[in-house]
Amino acid sequence: MSVRDPSPSLSSAPVAPDAASGAAPAALPYVHASGTTRSLHFSDKVIQSRMSTLSPDALDLEYTRMMMGFVLFAPAPADILMVGLGGGSLAKFCHRYLAQSRIEVVEIDPGVIALRDAFMVPPDGARFKVIQADAADHLRGLRDAADVLLLDGFDDAGIPPALCSADFYADCHRALRDDGILVINFHVNHPLHHHYLERVRAAFGGAMFEVVDDDMTNSIVFACKGDLLDDPAVADLKRPAVIPKDAWRQLMPTLRVIGATRELK
């Protein structure tokens, strides 16, 4: 839905965000391998996630690097909650580079979870776990549980209604601790996109801004349960000591765009 894969066998396959759903998916997930690239699919038309086997923890797609923009505001979150495992791109990056963070990933589809080894997703342990659950139900019962909440909840039909409702965004607000950051991946050309933004704004007030990728396909929205988005120090783009240099180098071009967009909001 956002980027076209250049490989010949998948040249017509757009990229969708890492998959999660509020309802059981209609198709079984599978892995497509092409050279050093592995991609997750529900059909041959849409790529749900993509990984290079040469750099399995790297963020191969631009929208995933954009979602990591939360490190500008919260570089060392104690608890990160993710909706949607997919190929584990964000989960692996956070697990490797945010060593002080505990990470919980909510994924509804057991078939996606069963493919975690193919995408080199870390095993469950003291600071990382994947749980099978409906994200809408799971978040409904949470209070002050996370410092960062990443929503990448798409299936092959788009964002499930349960994951873009006003009630769901209110639940996201309650699930975050004070100064918690919400990051959402939207499809910018969806006919209801502006309605979704208004629902986020209703839950979080004016503490939000939007960044759109170069292809004008993915919209990444940052919202905060507090005023961290207004921190003037963000404009300096200085690497926090807790973020490894390698991670910062990977993210820096995207962080510059996010910083500039924030200044214009």
| Nearest alpha-carbon partner for 20 in 103, 189, 137 | 137
Q: Any alpha helices (H) in the chain, and if so which ranges?
A: 62-67, 89-97, 110-114, 135-140, 166-175, 193-204, 245-264
Whether 152 is a known active-site residue: answer yes
d(CA 227, CA 234): 12
Number of H helices, E strands in the chain: 7, 10
| Catalytic-role residue among 152, 155, 156, 213 | 152
d(CA 95, CA 97): 6
Beta partners for 34? Answer: 37
CB of 144 closer than 8 Å to CB of 172: no
| Nearest alpha-carbon partner for 147 in 104, 209, 186, 108 | 104
What are the structure tokens assigned to 181, written together?
Answer: 């950051």
What are the residue numbers of the active site? 152
